[in-house]
Amino acid sequence: MARDQSEVHGWAANWPMLVLLGLCYGIWAVATVLLPLWLAIPVLVIALTLHASLSHEALHDHPTRHPVLNGALVFPALGLTVPYLRFYDTHRAHHRDAHLTDPYDDPETNYLDPAVWARLPRWARVVLAANNTLAGRMLVGPLIGQALFMAGDWAAIRRGERRVALGWALHVPACALVLWWLSAVGQVPAWAYGLAVYGSMSVLKVRTFLEHQAHSHVGGRTVVIEDRGLFALLFLNNNYHIVHHMHPDVPWHRLPALYFGNAARYLGRNQGYRYSCYGEIFRRHLFRAKDSVAHPLWKRP
């Protein structure tokens, strides 16, 4: 789809993102300073989830074509756990669609090489199998994902990968800014903020739970979830995921119109990999695994 870049990039085209960005920081500030703790925690979960989604927009060149400026807009690491530069690099690598669900080349996949799966101890297989249910993904998925992510990055730093080290070095002031606010201005104790961070990671696991499946056709690996509710807003319409992968330069607020304007095209592209809403996903997969941890179609070259 050829587009004039002025139609998808720039302040005028991305005013909804700018409004949400200001709203996100405002909600976060109010929650940390003014709200009672019982209300502050769930409100912070919403703000942190939204900030992660806005960071996703930033790394896809919104609101401008300037990566440094976009990164600056989401610089405070409200969620504390993932350096923005690491998110930038790994997610853009993930967008090489030919590698989607590849246990080695897709940085965001949860599939394992069957040979690796077979070598795991029984307790690890039990935990990872539970992680393939939605309840497990929300309860233990953030811990598993963060531990594996940090272990992989530490190994990369030890190998001398300077850009990985740079990502974590830049993360220090991004976190320091947030921690300064929490200690000098905010009224939320560390344990409560940590709970909100974990809660937001759990919500984000709902988004990523079945975005991609093992499929012999590249297009069939990416889902569409026809949801227009709170989850769709928090995820900035990333539930129209096949549309996002086909048009990664299109800003979040234009994705539903693209999809519903030609749903048959996108469902043909992704081989009908579709859910009507997030409620359907909860009903079908809360306690039932979506598929196997071992990649069912993997044959190692």
Question: Contact 67/61 with Cβ under 8 angstroms?
Answer: yes
Q: Please count the other Cβ atoms lying within 10 Å of the Cβ belonging to residue 20.
A: 20
What pTM did the predictor assign? 0.94
Give me the residues of the chain with pLDDT under 70, please: 1-12, 300-301
67 vs 15, 51, 55, 73, 215, CA distance in Å?
Answer: 17, 17, 11, 10, 33
Question: Contact 74/58 with Cβ under 8 angstroms?
Answer: yes
CA distance 202 to 198: 6
CA distance 189 to 195: 10
pLDDT tens string 128-144 = 999 999 999 999 999 99
Structure tokens at 90: 């790994």
Q: Tell me the domain boundaries of the chain.
A: 5-285
pLDDT tens string 223-280 = 999 999 999 999 999 999 999 999 999 999 999 999 999 999 999 999 999 999 999 9
